[in-house]
Amino acid sequence: MHSEGTEKTIIHTPKGAVAVYPKLEVPLKTASDFLDLMMNAGADTITLHKSDFADSFYDLKTGVAGEILQKLSTYDKRLIILGDFAAITRKNLRDFIYESNRTGKVVFVATLEEGVAMLR
């Protein structure tokens, strides 16, 4: 759905191939939307922008973020989310970002270089 016609660039890094998507026209709203994009990425790591996810992703009570993380785990993929996350004030979201960055499977960073460096 979202990946049809969506141009991406595959870059090769010491940590594997990374599919870098430009900002999506329509934010991903569901885990199914993300799964479609992930399965067509052609790389083990997907890079998206903060704005590529609907607000429901960042509202942890909706469960969308958890469903997406489950898809990543099931298919052994990684995700880099680019953006400015410094202004986040909700403790549960700050904790989620901290724990995600610590594990290195999903990283929330300002730059692609930072994201690749944090991957595990």
Q: How confident is the model over 77-93, as pLDDT tens digits?
A: 999 999 999 988 899 99
Neighbours of 79 (CB within 10 A): 22
27: in domain = yes
Domain with 30 in it: 9-118
Nearest one of 2, 21, 19 to 10, comparing CA atoms: 19
Residue with tokens 């790389």: 43
Residue 106 has pLDDT above 60, yes or no: yes
- How far is the CA of 77 from the CAs of 11, 32, 90, 103, in angstroms? 15, 15, 27, 13
Q: How many domains does the chain divide into?
A: 1
Task: Read off the tokens for 6.
Answer: 């969506």
Reply yes or no on whether the pLDDT at 64 is more than 90: yes
Q: Which pTM does this prediction carry?
A: 0.93
Can you give the CATH number for the domain in which 103 is found?
3.30.750
Classify residue 21: in a domain, yes or no: yes
